[in-house]
Amino acid sequence: MVETAGSKTYVGRYDSEDQRGVHMLDVGVHDVAEGSSKEDYLRKSVKFGIRSDHKHVLVPTDQVVRVTRLSDLPT
Amino acid sequence: MPYNPALVAPMRAEMTQMGAKELTSVSEVDAVIGDQKGSMLVFVNSVCGCAAGNARPALALALKHNVVPQQVVTVFAGQDVEAAARARQYFGEYQPSSPSMALLRDGEVVHFVHRHQIEGRSPQAIAGELTAAFDRFFGATV
């Protein structure tokens, strides 16, 4: 899971990191600006798995706040 | 595109050697998982070395436990594409990932182990969670 300085949180497979940012594969995106609960989204992702919205996402370095294993989140 | 059959043959063999029944077609999946009774574990196999390379030995370890599913079956994602897709239809709202494991009781998924719960963990750790799930969902009720 990659939390950002903006409204979006990304869950997916951590692929790599370079000077541009964090590359993720098979990525689900939650945007708190759309009104739904981030905690609920993460809870469902832990239990039911990641609903992939994008094959590949690059999260820019300056947006990355925290990278956490989804399996480390409480169920 | 499926991988070279020779490449995946050892990964298939690892499953059948632990007693898993391979389901390679839609009709086989429907025959075994459709109208399923009792307890069953469906292992979605994968060529992914970092996760499946731990998941298969983990299951082999877990199957030495005193409580185990009555049936263990496997489909191979990315290889037996249609069979894997069909099996996933029985998993309800659980999202596809591979490798993964679904524990079914009378046709209902009672526990699911996703790829994100396998990757980066030892076979022993994964097996520990599996046996706990076996006890919880397949153990005798008193």
DSSP calls for chain B: -PPPHHHHHHHHHHHHHTTPEE--SHHHHHHHHTT--SEEEEEEE---HHHHHHHHHHHHHHTTSSS--SEEEEEETTTSHHHHHHHHHTTTTPPP-SSEEEEEETTEEEEEE-GGGTTT--HHHHHHHHHHHHHHHHSPP-
Which pLDDT does position B142 carry in this prediction?
Answer: 53
Q: Where are the domains of chain B?
A: 5-136
Closest chain A CA to residue B109: A48
Q: Do A50 and B117 touch (CB under 8 A)?
A: no
Which range of residues forms the domain containing residue A36? 2-72
Stretch among A59-68, B31-40, B44-53, B72-81 having the lowest mean pLDDT? B44-53
State ipTM: 0.76
State the Cα–Cα distance between residues A6 and A1, nearest whole angstrom.
Answer: 14
How many residues are present in chain A? 75
Question: How many structural domains compose chain A?
Answer: 1
**Whether the Cβ atoms of residue A9 and residue A41 lie closer than 8 Å to each other:** yes
**Whether the Cβ atoms of residue A38 and residue A32 lie closer than 8 Å to each other:** yes
Contacts of residue B94 in chain A, CB cutoff 8 Å?
48-49
Contacts of residue A69 in chain B, CB cutoff 8 Å?
116, 120
Which pLDDT does position A21 carry in this prediction?
Answer: 95
Q: What are the pLDDT digits (tens) for A31-62?
A: 999 999 999 999 999 999 999 999 999 999 99
Q: Catalytic: B50?
A: yes
Confidence check: pLDDT of B49 > 80: no
Would an 8 Å CB–CB cutoff place B93 in contact with chain A?
Answer: yes
- Cross-sheet strand order for the sheet of B100-105: B21-22, B71-76, B39-45, B100-105, B108-113
Q: Do B95 and A71 touch (CB under 8 A)?
A: no
- Third-level CATH fold of B5-136: Glutaredoxin (3.40.30)
Of A51, A52, A70, the CB nearest to B116: A70
Contacts of B85 (CB under 8 A, 6+ apart): none
Share of residues in chain B with pLDDT > 90 (%)? 84
* Between B52 and B96, the higher pLDDT residue: B96
pTM: 0.89
Question: How many contiguous H segments (helices) and E segments (strands) does chain A have?
Answer: 1, 5
Structure confidence at residue B141 as a pLDDT band (50, 70, 90): low
Å between B108 CA and nearest CA of chain A = 14
Of A51, A52, A71, the CB nearest to B116: A71
State the Cα–Cα distance between residues B55 and B43, nearest whole angstrom.
Answer: 9
Structure confidence at residue B3 as a pLDDT band (50, 70, 90): confident
Give me the helix-helix angle, B26-33 and B81-89, nearest 10°: 30
Contacts of B63 (CB under 8 A, 6+ apart): B18, B19, B72
Mean pLDDT, range B13-18, rounded to an integer: 96
Q: What are the pLDDT digits (tens) for A4-21?
A: 999 999 999 999 999 999
Of A13, A50, A69, the CB nearest to B95: A50
Å between B46 CA and nearest CA of chain A = 15
Confidence check: pLDDT of B110 > 80: yes
Contacts of residue A51 in chain B, CB cutoff 8 Å?
95
Structure confidence at residue A73 as a pLDDT band (50, 70, 90): confident
Å between B94 CA and nearest CA of chain A = 4
Contacts of residue A13 in chain B, CB cutoff 8 Å?
115, 119
